[in-house]
Amino acid sequence: MYNFKKSSIVFFCVLIIVLPLDLQVVEAEEQDVVENVILMIPDGFSTSYVTSYRLFKGEELVFDPFLIGMIKTNSANSWVTDSAAAATAMSTGVKTNNKMIGVTPDGQILKTILEEAKGSGRSTGLVTTVSITDATPAAFGAHVISRKDQTEIAKQLITKVDVLLGGGKYHFLSETSRNEKQENTLEVAKSSGYYYLETRDQLLNLSGSEEKVLGLFAEAELTPVIDKRTKEQPSLEEMTTAAIQSLHNNEKGFFLMIEGGQIDRAGHVHDPVWAMNETKAFEEAVEKVLDFAKENGQTLVVIAGDHDTGGMSVGGYDEYVANVELLKEAKATGNYIASKLNHKRSNAANVMKEYTGIKLTKKEAKQIKKAKKKEVAISINHIISKRAYIGWTTHVHSGTNVPIYAFGPRSHLFSGNLDNTDIPKKIAEVMGVEISNK
């Protein structure tokens, strides 16, 4: 006869012995320090961009499986953040006012997660498709009251960031040095050991052993991917690959922030073609990062938007329709198309047909012709957007929550509805460092 009482005693004895062992294993896993963290920021990227790009691509995104939560984005002084305050929150764990970089609202310097990683012996890197001194990369390695002070930002970045890749050469040359060839930040960088690059070929020819690299591939921002007519500038994927190769030389690990900066630029001018192609370029960089992380096994990847730009909607104009696939036919941004119009804009129909595949109506042609000089590109973008049934609500940012994705060891820590200040705190925990800001 089955002895239930005896069996129950044996079961609970086994449970008492085994359960603590399991808990010890979980606790040990929780305490493991991750060597590398790659934080990827698609600037201005919200769920509407995700949905639009999925329709544009026609299939799931490479980072879709790793969606883990949402992020609240407000700054210290507004429900609608700018990039400076958003990046400061994401780098320091403290909210600041719009337009401020790496400091509190009263101007006190805040330690960043990049600086903490550097202090732990890790290598550090920043990669972007805009100026390397722009708000998002700047907030990880600089401290200024105003995001406009990009010359000062350049000076600060070269003191703590090992790999810098993007645009912004202009800001590494002071006004006096441009005119009188005096020593400037660029020369200081070279003399302090940076391997300096200006072209895509130079980047692709790196040996991979260079520990400090400064690549400035444009005076200001890189050319939008869809407007590139030469191969002088590298892609975000190529810059990402080079950065990882260099930073991975450090046995103690690295922290790398990669920004898809021009998704935001497209949103500001309501250009869905620009936005979708920059998202495509960002996804290609994500794929490269995920490949590295899967092979390496000691790399956490976090992908997080900083805010929404433009208030994009999928579908609109009083119809239950979306036609984002139309954007695949376009061959240039609205800015580029506008540059091809003649003085009277009488060639608008031909230019639009050539670069977008759209046959303008008389009303649309008149709309382009009557637009103010500074608004011609936006007029073009609105025509394209309407054809694709994409709506816009603002030329700045909105306060909507944005998605966060995570892959790799301890990625589960980033689940839920987070505040943007939670991100560097969790990264610090994963890396075994401490952000001491309050």
Binding positions for Zn(2+): 43, 264, 268, 306-307, 397
Dig out the tokens for 68 from the structure: 């883990």
Q: Are strands 397-398 and 308-309 parallel, antiparallel or unpaired?
A: antiparallel
Annotated binding site: 43, 134, 136, 259, 264, 268, 306-307, 397
Q: Which of 48, 83, 91, 379 is catalytic?
A: 83
- 337 within 8 A of 352, measured Cβ to Cβ: yes
Query: Would residue 83 show up in a list of annotated catalytic residues for this protein?
Result: yes
CA distances from 12 to 5, 6, 9, 17, 26 (A): 11, 10, 5, 9, 21
From the number of C-beta atoms within 10 Å of its C-beta (0-12, 13-18, 19+), residue 69 rates as middle
Q: Are strands 67-72 and 36-42 parallel, antiparallel or unpaired?
A: unpaired
CA distances from 132 to 16, 54, 109, 139, 370 (A): 56, 29, 20, 10, 37
Tell me how crowded residue 408 is: count the other CB atoms within 10 A of its CB.
22
Q: What is the rounded CA–CA span in Å between residue 394 and residue 82?
A: 13
- 330 within 8 A of 66, measured Cβ to Cβ: no
Annotated binding site for Mg(2+): 43, 134, 136, 259
Active-site annotation, residues: 83
